[in-house]
A and B are shown apart, each in its own frame.
Chain A
Amino acid sequence: MDEKEKVKQDIYEWTAKYAEKKGLQLNADSEMLDLVIEGLANNKIKYGKNYCPCRIISEDDKENRKIICPCIYHLDEIEKDGSCHCELFFK
């Protein structure tokens, strides 16, 4: 398994555990799920953090902390829209 696949596997595992703990579901479409996890893995490899792939990384570390998955917005978005913005977690 190459580095990226290993990172993706780790992300899949912790997101699945997090979803279970919070009573959420991961995206049931495996292709869509893989795309989000790949975006997270790219950011983890490039920046060292699991930044949300659908948010803009700035030069402000304080602001960037807000978009580390699971981001500070996800629970409100799930409540309002049924899923988080990047469609990783669902109600």
Chain B
Amino acid sequence: MGMGDVFAKILRKETSTEKAIPEVEKINDNLYKVNAAAFDEEVLRSELPVIVDFFSKKCRPCKKIAPVFEKMALEYEGQVKFVKVDVDQARDIAKDYGLMAVPTLMLFKDGELQDKLIGNMAEDKVKSTIEKTFGTIL
């Protein structure tokens, strides 16, 4: 992210109409749905590496990947944190990360975006990307 992007991000935060109160909804023991205001704390400042599923409720492939993501969250508990973000409620974050389509899975470590997967992809592909990016082996 260049300086221009950083300023744009700051400016957007100051003018954003998105919810300013952090909201974290626990879906299972290792899967949390977070709003835009909770993103920095839950994703960027997480001690564990994080995989984020950017989704939309009106997107068919998003619904398809949801149960797979939920199951994988439990498998990686303690190693990788799983988070879901509804892009319709987090437009600024979608812009910040240049999101073009949903579902998109983004992998973060120490606050930095490491890799992303776009579209509805097979469980094996997600697992191999997690392992390649984070060095995590089940």
With a CB–CB cut-off of 8 A, which chain A residues contact B59? 39, 53-54, 86
Decide if B119 is an interface residue (CB 8 Å cutoff).
yes
With a CB–CB cut-off of 8 A, which chain B residues contact A39? 56, 58-60
Contact flags (1/0) for B88-121 with A, using CB distance below 8 Å?
Answer: 0000001100011111000000000000000110
Interface residues, chain A, with chain B CB atoms under 8 Å away: 32, 35-36, 38-39, 42, 52-56, 58, 85-87
With a CB–CB cut-off of 8 A, which chain B residues contact A58? 95
**Shortest distance from the beta carbon of B33 to any chain A beta carbon, whole Å:** 18
| A53-B56 contact in complex given A58-B95, A85-B101, A85-B119, C-beta closer than 8 Å | yes
Contact flags (1/0) for B52-81 with A, using CB distance below 8 Å?
Answer: 000010111111000000000000000000
Q: Once the chains are docked, how many angstroms separate the CA of A59 from the CA of B82?
A: 29
With a CB–CB cut-off of 8 A, which chain A residues contact B102? 54-56
The 9 A-B residue pairs with the shortest CB-CB distance, nearest first, are A39-B58, A54-B59, A53-B58, A55-B101, A35-B60, A36-B60, A56-B99, A87-B60, A53-B59
